[in-house]
Structure 1
Amino acid sequence: MTNFVVKTLANAAALAVAIWLVAGITLDDGSSMGHRALTVILVALVFGLVNFIVKPVVKLFSLPLFILTLGLFTLVVNALMLLLTSWLAGKLDLSFHVEGFWTAVVGGLIISIVSWAVNMVLPDKD
């Protein structure tokens, strides 16, 4: 349970940094800071589910591309997972939006770096 909370908090922090740094990633909610924080946490949960369920399947089917590009295809997969999260957030009536593919590539790179850093700082007991 602790691992799930840590990963969700890391994803939420990484998404918040990406929203703050990248102009094409927006949280179009004009409400209070508490509601925006809840929205970021819900988007982090969706992002975590997408990474848990869809990402391994995509990685398996694109294994030759990972080998051919020496792992750089990970950037494309991360961008696609961020775009899928944006689409799902729209379907779930969450106000998270990613503009396009290249914005998603930059956002995915930022999210990966920040998530890694936050996971290094936060405890992981499980």
Structure 2
Amino acid sequence: MKLILTWLLHATALLALAHLYSGVEVKDFRAALAAAFVIGLFNLVVRPALVVLTLPVTFFTLGLFLFIINAVMFWAAAWLLDGFQVRGFGSALLGSLIYSAFGVLIDSALQRLFPPQPF
């Protein structure tokens, strides 16, 4: 239940992002659902490998390179999907930052709705 609600809220966050920022376009809610799924899948599978591979660069930039990795994941999702578009890398960077801020708010709200259960 929590996973489905998280997916729906992240899709809603993408729609809100598209309305707030002109660099990101989402065609409809179905496209937002697909984009939220692909971004989540990339963050689960591809992002950890990129973080490990770019660890020296991340270390020397004091972690700021992680913003670039997030933007690449965001931009790659837009490249794969038809109803989700990002105008350029700068738009991907700012869009991923705003989307991440929405994600923090969503995770915080869901943590209060579904507190961790002790074993």
Q: Aligned residue for 1:115?
A: 103
Q: After superposing the two structures, state which structure 1 stretch, 10-19 or 62-71, moved more.
A: 10-19
Q: Aligned residue for 2:3?
A: 4
- Give structure 1 regions of 4+ aligned residues with deviation exceeding 6 angstroms: none
Contact 1:25 1:103 in 2 (8 A): yes
Residue from 73, 94, 98 that aligns with 2:65: 73
Q: C-alpha deviations, 1:55-100, integer Å up to 9, x for none?
A: 111111011121111111111111100110001113xxxx110010
Q: 1:125 deviation in Å?
A: 5.8
TM-score w.r.t. length of structure 2: 0.85
Q: C-alpha deviations, 1:8-34, integer Å up to 9, x for none?
A: 23422332222112211112x3xxxxx
Letter in 2 for 1:75: F
The 1:20–1:59 alpha-carbon spacing in structure 2 relative to 1, beyond 3 Å, is same
Corresponding residue pairs, total: 114
- Structure 1 portions without partners, runs of 5+: 30-35
Q: Aligned residue for 2:15?
A: 16
Structure 2 counterparts to residues 47-126 of structure 1, below 5 A: 47-90=39-82, 95-122=83-110, 123-124=113-114
Q: 2 CA distance for matches of 1:5 and 1:124?
A: 13
The 1:45–1:63 alpha-carbon spacing in structure 2 relative to 1, beyond 3 Å, is same
Q: 2 CA distance for matches of 1:45 and 1:4?
A: 11
Q: 2 CA distance for matches of 1:11 and 1:103?
A: 18
Provide the identity percentage: 31
Q: CA RMSD in A?
A: 1.7
